[in-house]
Amino acid sequence: METNEKLKQLVKEKYSDIALQSKEQNQASCCGSGCCSDEVYNIMNDDYAGLEGYNADADLGLGCGLPTEFALIKRGDTVVDLGSGAGNDCFVARAITGEGGKVIGVDFTEAMIEKARANAEKLGFTNVEFRYGDIEKIPLSANRANVVVSNCVLNLVPNKEQAFKEVFRILKTNGHFSVSDVVLIGELPENLKKASEMYAGCVAGAIQKDKYLKIIEEAGFVNVKIQKEKVIIIPDDILSNYLSAQEMNAYKNSKTGIFSITVYADKPKETNCCEPGCCN
């Protein structure tokens, strides 16, 4: 596997390209139905169209769940969306939190930030902002957010332990998060794990489900629970880029699985945190 910085640069380049395309262009090239899929970005996408606040211009079809639907956002909350893209989840969150709330999107792809800011300006939202930053070092002060959401993005962060520590830091006491992400049960074939294209598309960057949940608990969160889980099926034309026919057959008949999960957890009332700015 490549170094963390190289992986970050790979993801940034891929999603910079995606930011310049429409959802229709992304789906034509990624083809979530599997009919012609050369890439993997849209395989896992859920439909936002029925959610209040949905804005088609902000939907690039890149998620693997609907975390805002499960996030228990209340009116007046401050919500932070990590890996905010063109602003899709931010605008859905804003419809819930209302004009008295605040929504902050964080993304480390400049093209996505520009697209999201343009969308917010077009919509006339004054309580939604977008900040450039790395999720391993979130550009927010401690104890800032009531709710953190993220959609198929934390999986792309090489240092997931640090990412969840940062989520813990920026949440207020009694705050919580709901994130959708991709995890594994069993080991992927080696060629899939090594494939940079699959990493950028969220699949080969996935870690074991048990390890993912353990990282969350070790960051200090409590009441960790899975709100939704679904299996992700990689189309044959994608698998054939990395596996032989025999390897594909063995993979399909194994107990290995790729899943999208939406996970909830609370920041507890009292913590043992000793870092400056971490505790109230």
Name the pLDDT band for 253 (thresholds 50, 70, 90).
Answer: confident
DSSP secondary structure string, 19-60?
A: HTS-HHHHHHHH-TTSSS-SS-TTTTPPP-TTSTT--GGG--
- Which residues does residue 258 pair with via DSSP β-bridges, in sequence order? 184, 232
Residue 21 one-letter amino acid = Q
152 pLDDT higher than 80: yes
High-pLDDT (> 70) share of the chain, %? 76
Contacts 24+ apart (CB under 8 A), 188-192: 188/256, 188/258, 189/242, 189/243, 189/247, 189/250, 189/251, 191/242, 191/243, 191/247, 192/239, 192/242, 192/243
Give a three-class secondary structure readout of 172-230.
EEEEEEEEEEEEEECCCCHHHHHCHHHHHCCCCCCEEHHHHHHHHHHCCCEEEEEEEEE
- Which residues does residue 228 pair with via DSSP β-bridges, in sequence order? 262
Separation of alpha carbons 27 and 33, rounded Å: 9
Question: What is the CB neighbour count within 10 angstroms for residue 237?
Answer: 13
pLDDT average, residue stretch 48-52: 83
CATH architecture for segment(s) 4-266: 3-Layer(aba) Sandwich (3.40)
Name the pLDDT band for 274 (thresholds 50, 70, 90).
Answer: low
Separation of alpha carbons 201 and 14, rounded Å: 9
pTM for the whole structure: 0.81
Tens digit of each residue's pLDDT (9 = 90 or more) over 199-249: 445 565 678 999 999 999 999 999 999 999 988 877 787 788 888 999 888
**Residues 6+ away with beta carbon under 8 Å from 123:** 55, 91
Decide if 177 contacts 157 (C-beta within 8 A): no
Query: What pLDDT is recorded for position 278?
Result: 53
**Residues 6+ away with beta carbon under 8 Å from 52:** 92, 95, 96
Q: What are phi and psi of 78, to 5 degrees?
A: -100, 120
Separation of alpha carbons 263 and 179, rounded Å: 5
Q: Can you give the residue ranges of every domain in the chain?
A: 4-266
Separation of alpha carbons 83 and 160, rounded Å: 14
High-pLDDT (> 90) share of the chain, %? 49
Tally the C-alpha atoms within 13 A of residue 191's C-alpha that lie toward its C-beta.
10
